[in-house]
Chains A and B, each alone.
Chain A
Amino acid sequence: MSLPTPLRHAISLLAGIAALSAGFAPAAASELQVSGFATLGAAYTRSDELEFARVGIDAPGGNRVDTGPDSVLGVQLGWQSAYGSSAVLQVVTRETQRGDYTPRPALAFLSHAISPALTVRAGRLRSPFFMLSDTADINYSQPWVRPPVEVYGLNPFTDMDGVDLLYRSHLGGSFIELHPYFGTSRIPVIGGGRAHLRQLRGLTATLERDELSFSASHAEAELSVIRTSQSYQDLVESLQLPPALQARLSGKGARASFSSLGMQWDDGRWRVIAELARMRADAFVNSATGAYIAIGRRFGALTPYVGLARQRQDQPIADPTLADSPESATTLAAFNRSRNQAQRSITVGTRWDLTPHAAIKAEFSHIDTERGAHGTFIARGDPFAPGLDDRDIHLLSVSVDVVF
């Protein structure tokens, strides 16, 4: 009776597809398409104390060569009627925050074109908080191995359950898309627990003209983060934190917002992608700003690129000066460090288009985590140990991306 929510969604959608297919019967009037995408990736960090992770997306590796952060497989069923209705089911498997590979529907929606310009969609949708959020798994469509973690690490909520509208219009040679959405989103927390966005509402606007495109986006939601990991329980018990401070670390009802401004230039030869994004929250997680610029140049099948990125913390999770003992303050500062992804990086790499459906990429990043931050790294041992911040770390990544 109590099937997991994603499974229930998948089943109801499949039932919907079956019912609709039967209703519109003639094969000429509707069409089922199967497609997919996959990345096999490996990331290598030479550090005995820290391991790379896309915080909130995958689990820390455990091995020095980690296939978890980037490897992903997605299979999509798309069905389209001749009457403006369509359904999409996309099931994605990748390493989860819990370290398993449980498949998850990343898209499971019914859509209907109300008019040539306006489409309404309902179901499981990708969350479009930042410019490339909704293509974060589609590595084939981008020059790099993975979207810059300095920005995309600000948003671990990759999908949402709800409703959206796509309004598309043309204005003097420009293409405009307005994309309002409303829903909820839920993800597990590394180590144990879960995070929720409720009453999520946002708007993304995109303008494309010839080689240039701009996007602007803002979303607000009510955030809850319930931490149940052993290290968190130990922290709370050992510190005997005052309730007010505990309520800053784990609980419900914080206000959160996500904003971004981005641009892309692609003239067929040069490709430039740049974005500035901000995540703010009253409690439970830190508030931070991230930005990146990446420039690539196509030479036939080769596209070498270089990227600069930075994330800065605006507000830590909890103010250590509120603790009632020096020991508590020290541990709270350690907790803040382990949840602070502030870092800067320079990445050089290349993409090689092997066939029309496959690309190989290799990139090298020099990452400089900030003082008071572990960056996008997770401690191999005690997460609250001192001296894991302010490091120079090299990260080597290779991947093969295919679409089919």
Chain B
Amino acid sequence: MSCSDPPLFNRRLGHALLLLLAFSFWQGAQAQGVVLVSARTGGIAELDRETAAQLYLGRRTSLPDGRGARLLDLPAGPERDLFYQRLTGKNPSQIRAYWSRMVFTGRAHPPHEVNDQEDALRRVLADPSTLAYLPAASVTDQPLHVLMRLE
């Protein structure tokens, strides 16, 4: 192969650009972070980090005021990994092992996994006791409480 072979060169360049683009999106998720949110109307107005971590580790199911909280998980991906890493200090493989122990010993029910970010947003707005995490950039114009920012 040589550099004078334009199609191959272009394809390689294309792959490199695609990779770069994917990487910058991933970087975007990392740089902007994710936010834990609830509905602004009637939703959970504040939540400390320790309680949020306990909820997402299945170690409690209710808020300090006694109200039950419903938790949502995004599908597997960089936002989910970032959220758990920053909130609980556990990496994806630790979290999967942890939750498989919690579920199959009958200790806790895992957060409900939504189809996508729109689904999460729709569910949060529909139910004031629901918590979800979303990319920070995606919630700017929504009627949500931002409970914490994890970057």
The docked-state distance in angstroms from the alpha carbon of A111 to that of B109 is: 12
The range of chain A's interface size is 35 or more
B109 A86 Cβ-Cβ under 8 A? yes
A82-B68, A116-B61, A298-B93 known; A126 vs B100 contact (CB < 8 Å): no
Which chain B residues lie closer than 8 Å to A33 at the CB level? 109-110
B94 A166 Cβ-Cβ under 8 A? no
Specify the main secondary structure of chain A where it touches its partner: strand
Q: Give 1 or 0 for each of B36-52: 1 = CB within 8 Å of chain A CB.
A: 00000000000000100
B61 A356 Cβ-Cβ under 8 A? no
Q: Give 1 or 0 for each of B109-123: 1 = CB within 8 Å of chain A CB.
A: 110100000000000
The docked-state distance in angstroms from the alpha carbon of A266 to that of B66 is: 32
A356 B92 Cβ-Cβ under 8 A? yes
B60 and chain A: residue at smallest CB distance: A116
CB distance from A299 to the nearest CB of B (A): 12
A121 B106 Cβ-Cβ under 8 A? yes
Residue with the greatest number of chain A CB neighbours at <10 A, chosen from B60, B76, B104: B104
Which chain B residues lie closer than 8 Å to A117 at the CB level? 60
The docked-state distance in angstroms from the alpha carbon of A67 to that of B106 is: 27
The docked-state distance in angstroms from the alpha carbon of A83 to that of B67 is: 9
A-B contact count (CB 8 A): 83
A-B CB contact pairs (8 Å), 16 listed:
A31-B112, A33-B110, A37-B100, A37-B104, A74-B104, A76-B103, A82-B70, A111-B106, A113-B62, A137-B104, A140-B97, A141-B98, A166-B107, A268-B91, A268-B94, A403-B96
Q: What is A's interface to B at a CB cutoff of 8 Å?
A: 28, 31, 33, 35, 37, 74, 76, 78, 80, 82-84, 86, 88, 90, 107, 109, 111, 113, 116-117, 121, 125-126, 134-135, 137-138, 140-142, 166, 168, 170, 175, 210, 266, 268, 298, 353, 356-357, 403
| CB-CB nearest 9 A-B residue pairs | A88-B106, A141-B97, A141-B100, A134-B105, A268-B91, A138-B104, A141-B101, A116-B62, A80-B109
Q: What is B's interface to A at a CB cutoff of 8 Å?
A: 50, 54, 59-62, 66, 68, 70, 76, 89-94, 96-98, 100-101, 103-107, 109-110, 112, 127, 129
Known: A37-B104, A135-B105, A268-B90. 15 other contacts (CB 8 A): A35-B110, A74-B104, A84-B61, A84-B68, A86-B109, A90-B106, A107-B106, A111-B106, A116-B61, A126-B105, A135-B101, A138-B104, A138-B105, A140-B100, A166-B107
